[in-house]
Amino acid sequence: MSFRQFKSALRHCQFNTKGQDFTLAVFCAGAQVWASGRIMHAAIELAAFWAIAFLTLSAAVVLLNIFCNVIENDMELLSVGKEAIISGLASLIEALGAWLIVLFIPASLRPMGLRAMIVPLIIVGLIYRVAHLESWSIFEVGLLLAFQLAAGCLVATLISGHFLAAIMVVAVFGVMLAILASFAKNL
C-alpha cells in the first residue's frame, strides 16, 4: 500500500462522489486500497478459522456423546447430516467472531479483545439448545463448549510445540471430567 495507490484511489473516489464530501472520498479510497491488498488474505483467514472451529466443534459433539454414554445420560443426537449442518452454522458464527477480533483489534490489545468471544459462544450455545430442545439440558450445552475449548487448546498447544502444556490440558480436563462423572453417576 503506497501513497501513490492511495492518491489514485482518492482521485477516483472524488470523481465518483463528485467532490461533495471529502471525508467520504477519503474513506472510500482507504477502503479500496485496503481491499486491494487484504481481501484475499482475509477470506483465507476466515476459511481457516471456520475449518478449525468446525473440526473442534465436531470433535466436541463426538466426545460429548461418548462421555454421556459413559455416565449413562440419555442425551440424544440428531442424524449425522443434521448435526453437521448445526456444527457448520455454529462454527461459522464462532469463526466470524474470531476473524473480526483478528481483523479489527490490534495485536497488542487482542488478549483483552478475546473477551468479545463470549458473544459467539452464547449464540452457539443457544443454537445447540434450540436444535436439541427436548433432549438436551443446559448441562450438555456447557459440556459441549467445554469439550470444544479443551479440543481447541489441545490442538493449539500441539501445533505450537508446547507438549508439556498439551499434557497438562489433557490431565486437568480429564480430572475435571472424572469428578463430574462421579457426581453425575451418584445423581
pLDDT in tens, the chain (187 residues): 455 554 555 455 544 445 455 444 444 444 444 445 555 577 888 999 999 999 999 999 999 999 999 888 888 899 999 999 999 999 999 999 988 888 888 878 888 888 888 999 999 999 999 999 888 888 899 999 999 999 999 998 998 999 999 999 999 999 999 999 998 877 6
Supply the pTM of this predicted model: 0.74
Contacts by 5-11, CB closer than 8 A, 24 or more apart: 5/33, 5/36, 6/30, 6/33, 9/33
d(CA 9, CA 38): 15
